[in-house]
Amino acid sequence: MESRKFAPIDENQGGTAVAQEPARLRKRNKTFTDVMLSVRDLHVSFKTFGGEVQALRGVSFDLYKGETLAIVGESGCGKSVTANTIMGLIPKPAGRIKNGNVLFKGKDLTKLDKSEMRKVQGVDISMIFQDPMTALNPTLKIGEQLTEGLRTHQKVSKTEARQKAIKLLEVVGIPNPEERMKQYPHQFSGGMRQRIVIAIALICEPELLIADEPTTALDVTIQAQILELFEEIQERTGVSIILITHDLGVVAKIADRIAVMYAGKVIEIGEKREVFYSPQHPYTKGLLASVPRLDLKEEELQPIEGTPPDLFAPPIGCPFTARCPFAMEVCDRIYPATTGLSATHAVDCWLQDERAKKVFGHN
Amino acid sequence: MAIYIVKRFFMMIATILIIATLTFFLMHSIPGSPFDEERTSNPTIQANLEKFYKLDQPTHVQYIHYLKSIATFDFGPSIKKPNDSVNKLLARGFPISLELGMVTILVAVISGITLGTFAALRHNGIIDYAAMAFAVVGISVPNFVLATVLIQQLAVNWNLLPPATWSSPLHMILPTLALATGPTAIIARLTRSSMLEVLTQDYMKMARAKGLSPMRIVLRHALRNALMPVVTIMGTMLAGILTGTFVIEKIFAIPGMGKYFVESINNRDYPVIMGSTVFYSAFLVFMLFLVDIVYGFLDPRIKLHRKEGDA
């Protein structure tokens, strides 16, 4: 059952999506068949004064070459920890990978030592951070911040690195790149800085880009521009993107697939269309219902009642049980198995069980 | 930049002028005169001496004369050492004091920053605890106590180093140690705390995500940001070290400025007091100015003049 969750996308499935989303026709016609990154049963914990926080409790997903996978969920669900674990940025010794693998093109990143990992960081996998106001070093010229990664990992001369950096600044939409190379971060606006952060991430031509809430700290108009930039870059370079966000609007715009995380687990994963139009997990449904809608008259937002579980002592069963309107006795005791709904769509929920369908009638 | 330097220059002049004025009037408000001890029974000699040093004139005339001497940087002869002019005393004593002060600063800055950085990188580790234990001791023990302990142990009991005077690099070790320990401890603590803060910044995570070498991450990305508070206290610390040299010079019998300075106050040797005070304050004010310039180099966000925004 587990394996179906990660089965390659069916071509016919991709085909049907075209009618609904003509704007993304070109990309949709592509099928993503090469698994680039495979996260398997990842458990990550952090030691704190209050005890051990089980931030990730068995996260598994695949990422295909050239696709954009969005990881969504509320604060503290483990989205950023997932990104940091893949990137090798878990603070040690407080954080620990207790179990599981991160296979990047067949290589297990969790087994690499620090110096081997440095050859992956910024080269094969790059990361874009949430707040561009703090992600750039205030005391270094942006030219240096752009080129230092390249100069560390590849044998290029200063002028070559400079040329490449200038070209890249042009690509990400910075006017007068040559002048701008000599400036410091405080001389740029927030949107500009995020463009620079993106340029820095791209300088070594990585195959995977992990963007951790890349638009959260930006104005709405700038957000749209940055998202367009992501699409443009992906079209140009074929880079795979993991987009971590809690903003479903962002997801709707650029994701191919969506993974919904809750309390350190991926509870539903599927193509964007599947997750948006036929969400199966009650949490996913609640998440989608809580988005404000312009076409409905109701004035109040519909929040999901309650709070996520305490990850110091996570529940044995489904962590959403306490907040779930459909909770059954079994939910509290046993974590549900993964049910494959289609080749691409899978969910961890007891409601998928035949016996539950008898209880609730047609679901 | 040029505008800033010119502005700063005039402010420095004003500062020195205020210090000079205060020194002058404070000095004249102390009872006693340079000739108290000499018990010259002959009033004519006394009068002649006072005339020679212009002490018979009213205070405001003396003050103007004194300002003139500052402007021309010629403070005249010492009253107590008639063979030496103040300038000569400065020329003889100051280089030695400067040498001691500079070596101390250098030792304090290098070891303090290194210690603080390692302590921060090994936060809550053995190095961290050891460094901070040293820092607490270093800050708490006054340099004159440390100096006597050092002399007793290293020079007298173990006979490793010369106990006093100033003639070879070996002689420099003990006074430098005594003088540098306090500032080293302060710098180490400061570097550690600001380093700890910098290490949690997003740009540090980003630097790691770039796969840079740990060396580059610490030296290029962290240290530069962490050094700002250290530079800030450098100015006042400099004053502390300079005045600290007076005590240390006395203990180690170093023929620096300190000796003349203290002597001159006891003897009411007016020209020497005024000359050395003005000289020292000018030196300090200039050092503070240098610290401000260094700021601008370390952190580009600090604007030394108005027109940087369009650079």
Counting residues of chain A whose pLDDT is more than 70, the rounded percentage is 89
Give me the phi and psi of A53, to 5 degrees please.
-90, 120
Contact (CB<8Å) A139/B300: yes
Is position B276 within any domain? no
Contact (CB<8Å) A129/B206: yes
What length is written for chain B? Answer: 311
Asked whether this complex has an ipTM greater than 0.90, the answer is no
What average pLDDT does this structure show over A54-71? 92
Amino acid letter, B301 = R
Contact (CB<8Å) B211/A140: no
Q: A-chain residues within 8 Å CB-CB of B210?
A: 121-122, 148-149, 152, 200
- What's the domain range around B113? 98-269
Lowest mean pLDDT among A17-31, A261-275, B131-145: A17-31
Q: Is B298 on the interface with A (CB under 8 A)?
A: yes
- What's the domain range around A114? 2-124+206-360
A150: nearest CA partner in chain B: B210
Distance from CA of A141 to the nearest CA of B (A): 9
CATH number of the domain to which B159 belongs: 1.10.3720.10
Distance from CA of A48 to the nearest CA of B (A): 14
Give the closest residue to B176 by CA, choosing from B65, B285, B280, B251: B251
Distance from CA of A150 to the nearest CA of B (A): 9
Is position A195 within any domain? no
Q: B-chain residues within 8 Å CB-CB of A138?
A: 203, 225, 299-301
Give me the phi and psi of A204, to 5 degrees please.
-95, 15
The pLDDT of residue B170 is 81
pLDDT in tens, A83-120: 999 999 988 778 899 999 999 988 899 999 889 999 99
pLDDT in tens, A338-363: 989 888 899 999 998 888 877 766 54
Using DSSP, state whether B75 is helix, strand or coil.
coil
Distance from CA of B146 to the nearest CA of A (A): 39
Is position A187 within any domain? no
How far is Cα B255 from Cα B262, in angstroms, rounded to an integer? 12
Name the residue facing B211 among A118, A138, A140 (closest C-beta).
Answer: A118
- Whether a cis peptide bond, with omega within 30° of 0, leads into A292 is no
Which residues are CB-neighbours of B262 under 8 A, at least 6 positions away? B246, B250
Distance from CA of B225 to the nearest CA of A (A): 7
Q: Which residues of chain B have pLDDT under 50?
A: 307-311
**Given pLDDT bands bounded at 50, 70 and 90, which one contains residue A188?**
very high
Contact (CB<8Å) A121/B210: yes
Task: Enumerate the β-bridge partners of residue B79.
Answer: none
Instruction: Find which of A137, A150, A180 to mutate to test the B interface (most B CBs within 10 Å of its CB).
Output: A137
Give the closest residue to B268 by CA, choosing from B28, B75, B20, B33: B33
**Given pLDDT bands bounded at 50, 70 and 90, which one contains residue A297?**
low
Indicate the number of domains in chain B.
1
Q: Where are the beta strands (DSSP E) in A65-169?
A: 68-72, 95-104, 107-108, 125-128
Q: A-chain residues within 8 Å CB-CB of B225?
A: 137-139
What length is written for chain A? Answer: 363
pLDDT in tens, A204-231: 989 999 999 888 888 888 888 889 999 9
CATH number of the domain to which A239 belongs: 3.40.50.300
- Indicate if the pLDDT at residue A272 is higher than 60: yes
Distance from CA of B310 to the nearest CA of A (A): 9
- Indicate if the pLDDT at residue A282 is higher than 90: yes
For residues B88 and A296, the model is more confident at B88
Distance from CA of B109 to the nearest CA of A (A): 21
**Given pLDDT bands bounded at 50, 70 and 90, which one contains residue A26?**
very low
The pLDDT of residue B290 is 83
Indicate the number of domains in chain A.
1
Q: Is B224 on the interface with A (CB under 8 A)?
A: yes
Contact (CB<8Å) A184/B300: yes
The pLDDT of residue B190 is 93
A189 neighbors A143 (Cβ within 8 angstroms) = no
* Ramachandran region, residue A81 (left: φ > 0; alpha: ψ -120 to 50; beta: rest): alpha
Query: What is the end-to-end Cα distance of chain A in Å, rounded?
Result: 21
How far is Cα A11 from Cα A334, in angstroms, rounded to an integer? 35
Nearest-Å Rg of the Cα atoms of chain A is 21
B308: nearest CA partner in chain A: A187
Which residues are CB-neighbours of A195 under 8 A, at least 6 positions away? A169, A172, A173, A174, A226, A229
Q: A-chain residues within 8 Å CB-CB of B221?
A: 137, 140
Amino acid letter, A159 = T
CA triplet A115, A121, A124: central angle to 5 degrees? 120
- Indicate if the pLDDT at residue A4 is higher than 50: no
Is position B257 within any domain? yes
The pLDDT of residue B305 is 53
Is position B10 within any domain? no
**Measured on CA atoms in the order A111, A316, A246, A5, is the torsion positive or negative?**
positive
Enter the pTM of the model: 0.78
Q: Is B65 on the interface with A (CB under 8 A)?
A: no
Q: A-chain residues within 8 Å CB-CB of B207?
A: 137
Give chain A's mean pLDDT: 85
Q: Is B39 on the interface with A (CB under 8 A)?
A: no
B188 neighbors B133 (Cβ within 8 angstroms) = no
